[in-house]
Structure 1
Amino acid sequence: MDVPKVQSKPLAQNRKASHDYTIEDTVEAGIVLQGTEIKSIRRGSANLKDAYARVYNGEMYVYNMHIAPYEEGNRFNHEPLRNRKLLLKRKEIDKLLGVTKEKGYALIPLKLYIKHGYCKVLIGVAKGKRDYDKRHALKEKEAKRDVERAMKQRY
């Protein structure tokens, strides 16, 4: 059996996460999907904007991840905002649970992609930024852009 190549391009990405949070660590997790969900994800109809992960009864779930219904799915279609179980090892779940017990930390899905034929989610251990942190990050980004622009004009 041929194993498909790794798909490097994310099918869904949470762009707002790096603006609202400081990402300190990442963990790759598998995700349990229903039949039409993977077809919809492969089309690029997934949204991670307001999604977050949480440990419930010793298992990790992702909440508020929107996967649009598959048009050709008829009555076997899935519910768009259902909670989806993440596949992680017990040690990883316990480690992430310990981190999230600290004040200000959250588990945020960053990317959704296909790897070796399986759908994976990149979960980030994130700490919320304050408004002044966001302003500081924007100033740094703007300064870096100005330096690059000046270097480009010089050469």
Structure 2
Amino acid sequence: MTANDKEKSKSGYISHGIASQNRKARFDYKILSTIEAGIVLKGVEVKSLRLGRATLSEAWAGERDGELYLFNAYIPEYQGGVLSRFDVRGTRKLLVKKKERNQLFGAINREGATVVPLDIHFNPRGLAKVTLGIAEGRQKHDKRHAIAARDWQRDKARLLRNK
């Protein structure tokens, strides 16, 4: 039984744990800090998220009218017979405390940083949360260095395991 099987209940839903991850974000950006934010969703969006089919690879977070929103996150339509339709790539409001929101907006304006969604997960209470990373873009040579370091860690673990 894998860790992913433990997260899923008998109905196939993820009760708590990671629903979607943006794995490429940690490669493309240097994450300076992270903030957990709530997300405003409709009922069918939550059902679709619990099936674990959302994609964050092209998503980003930003300001609109003084509020924080998640843009271009793909949450597919729920196919469980529900007639309620929603925009699969629509904007979704993010819920953060005022102090955290000001910190995010300050980092974007002052430092030229980007706010990147790292994952969508369900907390132990069953609420959907988004982990946002305040990030700086990496140059091509930094990415090559990250690849070399990752390969070395993999080779080192393989050597230690075979000893």
Same fold per superposition (TM over 0.5): yes
Separation of aligned partners in 2, 1:104 and 1:128: 10
Matched residue type, 1:82: G
Matched residue type, 1:129: R
Higher RCO (CA < 8 A, seq sep 6+): 1
DSSP 3-state at the match of 1:108:
strand
Separation of aligned partners in 1, 2:104 and 2:154: 35
Instruction: Provide the residue aligned with 1:117 in structure 2.
Output: 126
Once superposed, what is the RMSD of the aligned Cα atoms?
A: 1.3
Q: Which runs of 5+ in 2 are unaligned?
A: 1-14
Matched residue type, 1:120: K
Identity, in percent, stands at 39
What is the CA-CA distance between 1:104 and the residue it aligns to?
4.3
Matched residue type, 2:118: L
Instruction: Provide the residue aligned with 2:56 in structure 1.
Output: 48
Separation of aligned partners in 1, 2:78 and 2:155: 44
Instruction: Provide the residue aligned with 2:153 in structure 1.
Output: 144
What is the CA-CA distance between 1:35 and the residue it aligns to?
2.2
Instruction: Provide the residue aligned with 2:10 in structure 1.
Output: none
Matched residue type, 2:91: N
Separation of aligned partners in 2, 1:127 and 1:97: 14
Contact 1:55 1:93 in 2 (8 A): no
Among candidates 84, 106, 122, match of residue 98 of structure 1: 106
Query: Matches of residues 30-49 of structure 1 in structure 2 within 5 Å?
Result: 30-49=38-57
DSSP 3-state at the match of 1:54:
strand
Separation of aligned partners in 2, 1:102 and 1:50: 24
Once superposed, which parts of structure 1, at least 4 consecutive aligned residues long, lie more than 2 Å away?
none
